[in-house]
Amino acid sequence: MARKDKSLRYSIFDPTGNITALVESPVPVAGQPRVAAEIMTLHQAVEQVGFVSRSDVDGVDLELRMAGGEFCGNASLSAAALFCLHEGDRPVVLQVSGAERPVAVTLRREGDGFLGCMVMPRAAGIQCETFAFGSVQAELPLVRSKGISHLVIEPSSPFYALLNRREDAEGAVKRWCEQLGADGLGLMFLSGEKDAWHLTPLVYVPGSDTVFWENSCASGSAAVGMLLASRHSETVELALEEPGGTLRVKSDPISGETWLFGHTKRIFET
C-alpha cells in the first residue's frame, strides 16, 4: 500500500482462489476505489476488495459494498465468515451492493475455514443478445442481473476462441459491458457436460476499473446454473471446476431459486 496506513483494518480471504480483501475501517464511498487499488498493489494476489460495516437495518447483520459497487458472491461468503469469526457461528444476513434484497448465508466450519451455502440473487432476465468483436458477430446467452451480468460462452460459439486470446477477451468484455450498460460483466467460458464441467471466468467492473481472469466466480457460476436450468426446464446441480477449485451450484427454474456452495478461509489480517 502506497501510504502503508496501519490504522486501516482489513482481512484477506481465499474463497476458492478468488482472493478477496474485506476492509472493516470506515472509508467513504468516493474513496473506496483508491483504497482498493492500494490494497491490490500491496497484495497482488487480491482480485477484489469489499468494505464491510454493521447494519442498522432490522434483520440484517452486515453491509458489504464492493469497491466498484458490483455484486460479488465470493466476497459475500467471505464477509459472512468474517462476521462468524467475530460473533460466533450462526446464519448471517447481508445487504450487498448490486443486490436488491438481503442475501442469506449459512456456514459451517470445515478445516481451517468455512463451507458456505448462499441463496443467490435472482436474474433479472435470461436471453440471447448479439455481440461483435473484430470480424465476428454472433449471439450469446446473457444472464442479466442488477449487480453484475454474465455472458456464457461455450465451445460451439465463435467467441470461445477468446479463451486463448486473453488480451482480445479483455477488450471484448469492456466493450460489451459498455454496450449493455452493466454494473459489471463476466465472460464465463464453459465447457463439459454432466459431471465434468469446467469454467474459466473473466470479470470486468467499470466502477473499480478492474479486469481479472478470476480463479473462481460465484455469481458467474450461479449464472451458469440459471442458464442451464432455464434451458432444460428442470433443476440442475453442477460441480464447476474453476482455476482455483470447485464451486457447486443448484438452480431451480420453477421457484427461481439458486444456491451457491463454496469454501472460504481467512489468510491474512491487519
- Site of grid cell 482462489: 17
Mean pLDDT value across residues 166-184: 98
Residue 196 confidence class, pLDDT cut points 50, 70, 90: very high
CA atoms of 143 and 24, how far apart (whole Å):
31
Neighbours of 59 (CB within 10 A): 8
pLDDT digits (tens, 9 = 90+) for 11-69: 999 999 999 999 999 999 999 999 999 999 999 999 999 999 999 999 999 999 999 99
Task: Output the CATH code of domain 125-255.
Answer: 3.10.310
CA atoms of 88 and 180, how far apart (whole Å):
41
Domain range summary for the chain, segments of one domain joined by +? 10-121+264-269, 125-255
For 62-93, what is the HEC assignment?
EEEEECCCCCCHHHHHHHHHHHHHHHCCCCEE
pLDDT of amino acid 101: 95
pLDDT of amino acid 6: 59
Q: Which CATH class is domain 10-121+264-269?
A: alpha beta
10-121+264-269 and 125-255, same CATH topology? yes
pLDDT of amino acid 193: 83
Residue 194 confidence class, pLDDT cut points 50, 70, 90: confident
CA atoms of 167 and 164, how far apart (whole Å):
9
Q: Of 36, 42, 43, whose CA–CA distance to 210 is shortest?
A: 36
Mean pLDDT value across residues 78-105: 97
Predicted TM-score (pTM) of the model is 0.96
Mean pLDDT value across residues 174-192: 97
